[in-house]
A and B are shown apart, each in its own frame.
Chain A
Amino acid sequence: MVKSIHIEKLNYVYQSGTPFSHRALTDVSLDIEAGSYTAIIGHTGSGKSTLLQHLNGLLKPTSGNLTVAGNHITSETKNKELNELRHHVGFVFQFPEAQLFEETVLKDIAFAPKNFGKSDEEAEQIAAKMATLVGLPDSVLDSSPFELSGGQMRRVAIAGVLAMEPQILVLDEPTAGLDPKGRLEMMEMFEQLHQEQHLTIILVTHQMNDVANYADHVVVMENGGLIADSTPQQVFSDPDWLHKHHLGLPQTTAFAAKLAQQGVPFDTLPLTEKQLAEKLAELMPQSGGELHG
């Protein structure tokens, strides 16, 4: 597989060389394949956001290096070279609605493509397309972003990032503070982008259900280092280990773990409702047979 992101021995120290210096990342090495859906989980303050900010050059490593979408970054990389990198990495920050500023929704979405050299018409065409993609009605395109509801503002902000047409999409808790419906719609939209446009998605979340439902690669962080780098199946197979590292299980897996304690024989713990239903359906005739036999 093609590596989209290759991180080698990355270290980062905040305010290095000052009395406030504080180490946030220690020897992080990680590979992310192109077109994969990676979830980064970990306790608050474990270094997730710091790691993410390296992916589009907002932070440069104190030592170590990384390659993102063909751009090589070390502590010596010049700021000028980072612009090219940012073009390829779309970054949806936590509460991205805070970044809206233009007079109209359309202009705000078109802001990023314009910055990366698209003409005004092209940028607005892309903007209109992205607005539809994130489910914004045409009627709001000419209104001010500040007149919209919180959920709609979030969509405008996300459309503004997608309008850059990135290869890699970094999502930092994109559904924080949304209602259940909005959350599901948002996650389904990212999944669709992942499937159809083969975007590499990197998701930071505390929602284990989302990890189980969408991700194919899970990275667990603690105290600025990686403590697991594997599949969701693997990571969620050991509830005790997760508990020890202050992480939870997806609801389905937690339920299945309880069933397993009662003697239901799962070979692996199911992650999604669908998997659980299938496993149970498989087991049904057997247990039924035993009862009658």
Chain B
Amino acid sequence: MDKMLLGRYINGESLIHHLDPRGKLFLSFYFIVIVFLCNNWQTYVLMAAMVMLFVKLSDISLGFFIKGVRPLIWLILFTVLLQIFFSSGGEVFWHWGPFTITDQGLINGVFVFCRFVLIIFMSTLLTLTTTPIEISDGLESLLKPLTKIKVPVYEIALMLSIALRFVPTLMDETTKIMNAQRARGVNFGEGNLLKQIKSVIPLLIPLFVSSFNRAEDLATAMEARGYHGGEGRTKYRKQEWRKNDTLAVILFIALTVTLIFLRN
């Protein structure tokens, strides 16, 4: 459980840490879009250089980013192998039944691998340098226009920030209950499938019970502090758009233009 990197935030004072979360969120999504503009070596090298620059600027060691790739490694390998074995076109190196390896396929495989790694690095960068609360605030203000079509953006943002805040708490709770049941003789992850599924019950039931208790306590505590819902509430955490944020946007525009140039 401790090894999960998803949603981890690492405290820091770097340039990237101080960017406006709205900008960071938007640019991270935008990055995923423009990754698909890449279709040759030059473009991938440019994007990789870009990502490396951001990693450098974030003052976080490369190890964290590589750890971020690890949970998805099977998906990545699967996709890469699919590309390598089932692509057609170009010079054929090897052929057996439905499998063919062509130079085009190999190149595609490498490109797909790069694409995955770039996207994962970028999203890891977002979560490592932005606190969950900033992310949910950022999302709230990015989604604001949707209030026009009656989407309850405020409630969604509140749900999101509560959910994010309780992820670590629930993780701790899970570890605790697992330990307590282990001490009573439950073996998690051992035996046949049916046995393994059965062993989850002593974990899930207490977890549900404590989540509902927690929810009730939290709701009462929020009401006791005068919460009535989104209407008329003010914001304590203000987001500020600074010069660096504008620079980041300009950088991304320049990047897009260059990519379009380099594309073939």
Q: Which residues of A contact B (CB under 8 A)?
A: 14-15, 18-20, 53, 56, 58, 79, 83, 86-87, 89-91, 93, 96, 98-101, 111-112, 115-116, 146, 160-161, 164
Could you name 26 residue pairs across A and B whose Cβ atoms are closer than 8 Å?
A: A15-B3, A18-B67, A19-B61, A19-B64, A20-B2, A53-B179, A79-B187, A83-B185, A86-B182, A86-B183, A86-B185, A89-B183, A91-B180, A91-B183, A93-B176, A93-B179, A93-B180, A93-B183, A96-B180, A99-B177, A100-B206, A115-B184, A115-B185, A116-B185, A161-B183, A164-B184
The contact string, 1 if C-beta is below 8 Å from chain A, for chain B 3-17, is 100000000000000
Find the residue from B61, B67, B184, B185 having the highest chain A CB count within 10 A.
B184
Within the assembled complex, what's the spacing in Å between the Cα atoms of A111 and B206? 14
Task: Determine if B108 is an interface residue (Cβ-Cβ < 8 Å).
Answer: no
**What's the interface size class on B, roughly?**
20 to 34
Q: Which residues of A contact B182 (CB under 8 A)?
A: 58, 86
Q: A56-B183, A115-B186, A160-B184 are in contact. Are A101 and B205 (CB under 8 A)?
A: yes
Chain A hits for B2, CB < 8 A: 14-15, 20
A59 to chain B minimum Cβ distance, whole angstroms, is 9
Q: How far is the CB of A286 from chain B (nearest CB, A)?
A: 53
Q: Assess whether A99 is in contact with B206, with CB atoms less than 8 Å apart.
A: yes
Q: A15-B2, A15-B3, A18-B67 are in contact. Are A98 and B183 (CB under 8 A)?
A: no
Residue numbers in A under 8 Å from B181 (CB-CB): 99
Enumerate chain A residues within 8 angstroms of B61, measured Cβ to Cβ: 19
B210 contacts across to A, CB distance below 8 A: 98
Report whether B67 and A98 are in contact in the complex, using a CB–CB cutoff of 8 Å. no
B202 within 8 A of A: yes
The answer to whether B173 and A19 touch across the interface, beta carbons within 8 angstroms, is: no
Point out the residues of chain B lying under 8 angstroms from A87, CB to CB. 185
- B209 CB within 8 Å of chain A: yes
Bound form: Cα–Cα A53–B176 in Å: 11
Task: Encode B195-229 as 1/0 by CB contact (under 8 A) with A.
Answer: 00000011001100110000000000000000000
Other than the given A100-B206, A101-B205, A115-B186, 15 more pairs (CB < 8 A) read A15-B3, A53-B179, A83-B185, A83-B187, A86-B183, A86-B185, A89-B183, A91-B183, A93-B179, A99-B180, A99-B184, A111-B185, A112-B185, A115-B184, A164-B184
A18:B184 contact, CB within 8 angstroms: no
Asked if A101 contacts B183 (CB within 8 A), the reply is no
Q: Which residues of B contact A20 (CB under 8 A)?
A: 2
Contact status A18-B3, CB under 8 Å: yes
CA gap between A146 and B205 in the complex, in Å: 11
Q: Which chain A residue has the least Cβ–Cβ distance from B64?
A: A19
Determine how close the nearest CB of chain A comes to the CB of B200; give it in whole angstroms. 11
Contact: B173 with A58, CB < 8 Å? no
